[in-house]
């Protein structure tokens, strides 16, 4: 058994890509996308027709609606190849506007339903700002499930659990990136690998908290830089993995053991934690890594959305 098949025994494997033609060989349960992945995909010859066809069909509609239709077009193609769910992201420029996020999420779901896709096969991705989390809570109450992304801090995870969102995506690799860059020449890779990786440690803390206190929100580790990070989180509810790292796992026949265990987490001596808006904002502000990476991530997704809009105008 290769390591990808072994991982699937105790973790739901999710493909992190807009390049849906790569999906069949890895047989993931779910798939995730984001503006950067869609931008990368539409610049490939295999996918340019999706952009051109969508723009041609809806050229008379507002650009933001045409954008959502393009995202849904990719999502529908992905759902034709997988048995589970696809995550489709809200425009990151709405990350601090709860009402606009709810409206956009409802529209995306309506577009999927118009294509015959039931709402339970779609997760609406929302940035884990305070406003995003509140919007997600409202969407969940309306029967629309959410994936809270750009999650770097424990306080974000706790607030998402309180909001009863469907799923969170802690960004393992970006946490690792920040600490490595911050340490500079003092960074020792071997000392921060596997179970000692700062991104892995963050997800373990969240996993233990959720399982200890019976929080139903699913945890999906994301943004991996190497297979060591993936192996160290074997047993997490879900892991979303790039095609390149999926291929690496599939090519390795060494044993892979479960690392995270809900029963062991429930036995831990942990104290309950809760956040209101003020304490959430303060905790996030106190976490330099999370503050930096959340802001940076929103800016990057915004920039790629603008680039995608330029391609749509030129199509």
Return the active site residues: 125
SS3 of residue 64 by DSSP: helix
- Nearest-CA neighbor of 287 among 149, 152, 192? 152
CB atoms under 10 Å from CB of 99, counted, come to: 12
CA 139, CA 132: separation in Å to the nearest integer? 10
CA 219 from centroid of its chain's CA atoms: 10
- Nearest-CA neighbor of 289 among 158, 135, 183? 183
For 148, phi then psi, to 5°, come to: -90, 115
CA 155, CA 280: separation in Å to the nearest integer? 6
CA 244, CA 150: separation in Å to the nearest integer? 21
CB atoms under 10 Å from CB of 310, counted, come to: 10
In this structure, what token pair is assigned to residue 123?
């997760």
CA 183, CA 36: separation in Å to the nearest integer? 27
């Amino acid at each position: 058994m290769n390591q990808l098949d072994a991982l699937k025994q105790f973790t739901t494997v999710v493909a992190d890509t807009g390049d849906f033609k790569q999906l069949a060989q890895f047989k993931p349960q779910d798939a995730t996308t984001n503006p950067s992945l869609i931008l990368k995909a539409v610049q490939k010859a295999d996918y340019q027709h999706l952009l051109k066809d969508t723009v041609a069909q809806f050229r008379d509609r507002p650009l933001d609606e045409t954008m959502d239709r393009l995202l849904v077009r990719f999502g529908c193609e992905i759902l034709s190849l997988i048995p589970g769910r696809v995550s489709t992201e809200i425009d990151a420029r709405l990350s601090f506007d709860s009402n606009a996020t709810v409206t956009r999420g409802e529209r995306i779901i309506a577009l999927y339903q118009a294509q015959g896709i039931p709402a339970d096969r779609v997760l609406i991705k929302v940035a884990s700002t305070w406003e995003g989390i509140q919007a997600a809570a409202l969407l969940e109450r309306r029967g629309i499930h959410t994936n809270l992304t750009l999650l770097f801090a424990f306080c974000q995870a706790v607030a998402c659990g309180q909001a009863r969102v469907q799923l969170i995506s802690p960004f393992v690799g970006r946490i690792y990136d920040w600490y490595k860059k911050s340490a500079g020449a003092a960074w020792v890779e071997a000392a921060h690998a596997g179970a000692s990786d700062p991104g892995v440690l963050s997800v373990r803390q969240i996993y233990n908290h959720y399982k200890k206190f019976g929080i139903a929100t699913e945890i999906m580790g994301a943004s991996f830089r190497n297979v060591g990070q993936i192996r160290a989180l074997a047993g997490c509810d879900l892991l979303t993995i790039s095609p390149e790292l999926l291929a690496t796992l599939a090519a390795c026949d060494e044993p892979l053991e479960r690392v995270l265990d809900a029963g062991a987490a429930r036995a831990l001596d942990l104290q309950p934690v809760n956040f209101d808006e003020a304490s959430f904002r303060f905790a996030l502000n106190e976490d330099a890594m999370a503050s930096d990476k959340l802001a940076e991530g929103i800016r990057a997704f915004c920039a790629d959305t603008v680039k995608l809009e330029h391609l749509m105008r030129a199509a």
